Amino acid sequence: MAVKIVTDTLSDITGDLTEEIGVNVVPLYVRFGERIYRDRVDITSEEFYKRLVIESTLPSTTQPTPNDFFQVYEKLAEETDEILVITVSSKLSGTFQSATQAISMMEGGKVKIEVVDSGCVAMTLGLPVIATASRAKTGAGLADLVDYARGACARSHLVAYFDTLKYLAKGGRIGKAQGLLGSMLSVKPILTMREGEMAPLTRVRSKSAGMDYLFNVVNKPPELLAVEHCTTQGDADGLAERLKKTYPDVPIYRSVISPVIGTYSGPGAVAVSILEAE
């Protein structure tokens, strides 16, 4: 039986792609006031960003419970005896811990489950999941897939343009980008992921300069690419078109940044994820 792959909604793998690659996605939670929504199940990204702009109180987020993962494990145990879970960085969320704790809830020996902390977020997590799921379809075993997933996560890199850092700061996820908070309002930060948390790369003076930076950071043909946005689809479309002309043979995945991530990125963010070739 083929190994089944599980990830969470912070991989930004959604819709038809979920079905196409055969990955099971466990939602995180986002809370507006007294109402709690499952990420992309009870609230769409579009609905979320409309509310984010007009609401006076910043939403909060919560990782899936161990029971959320347990229910997925139980379902998949009817189809396989091996499951690989690849989660968002444990430095950004408790999702990895919930996925691990859920293993003890399974009946002993019913199914073998491995959980990999990707150290990544958004499509920088999504691309290794896509690549690992593709390998799983070839019949690769669990041990091989664990090693491959860890290697793919190490080859996956995020570069993101932010209109503002206030959402990261208010949400407590600003990480190593704390030093940019005193920047002039006209300066737009470019961030990346280092050691599982957000870290500064540089600053630009305008959104157009930011899109140029995201384009130029891809300086050799990768295995896979992804371009994402929160509210500015036109900017992401333009960036994806430029990358496609330069790297016509490289698959470029498109996604809207999830509500949980959007709680911290705020509107206006655009990101490129790069899975380097082996």
* Residue-level pLDDT at 94: 97
pLDDT at 57 over 60: yes
Same domain for 223 and 100:
no
Same domain for 150 and 49:
yes
* Residue-level pLDDT at 251: 98
Same domain for 13 and 148:
yes
* Residue-level pLDDT at 169: 62
Position 109 confidence tier, pLDDT thresholds 50, 70, 90: confident
CA atoms of 62 and 246, how far apart (whole Å): 39
Over range 246-251, report the average pLDDT: 98
Same domain for 92 and 25:
yes
The residue segments making up the domain with residue 197 are: 156-275
Same domain for 200 and 94:
no
Same domain for 149 and 172:
no
Same domain for 126 and 47:
yes
User: For residue range 127-146, what is the model confidence (pLDDT) as tens digits?
Assistant: 999 999 999 999 999 999 99
Examine the fold and report which residue of 154, 178, 208 is the final residue of a domain before the chain moves on.
Answer: 154
pLDDT at 60 over 70: yes
> 147-151, 185-189, 268-272: which range is least confident on average?
185-189
The token pair that represents 23 in the structure block:
């990955």
CA atoms of 42 and 44, how far apart (whole Å): 7
Same domain for 164 and 148:
no
CA atoms of 56 and 43, how far apart (whole Å): 18
Examine the fold and report which residue of 154, 170, 193 is the final residue of a domain before the chain moves on.
Answer: 154
Over range 245-262, report the average pLDDT: 96
Same domain for 125 and 17:
yes
pLDDT at 20 over 90: yes
Same domain for 144 and 94:
yes
Residues 111, 80 contacting (CB under 8 angstroms):
yes
Q: What is the CATH number of the domain that holds 26?
A: 3.40.50.10170
Position 53 confidence tier, pLDDT thresholds 50, 70, 90: confident
User: For residue range 168-210, what is the model confidence (pLDDT) as tens digits?
Assistant: 666 444 444 444 444 445 578 899 998 888 888 888 989 999 9
Q: pTM for this one?
A: 0.93
Examine the fold and report which residue of 154, 176, 204 is the final residue of a domain before the chain moves on.
Answer: 154
Provide the H-helix boundaries in the chain: 15-21, 45-54, 66-76, 95-101, 123-136, 142-154, 166-171, 207-216, 233-246, 259-265
Q: What is the CATH number of the domain that holds 196?
A: 3.30.1180.10
State the total domains in the chain.
2
Lookup result for tokens 């960003």: 49
Amino acid identity of residue 123, one-letter, is M
The whole-chain average pLDDT of the chain stands at: 91
Same domain for 146 and 21:
yes
Same domain for 185 and 113:
no
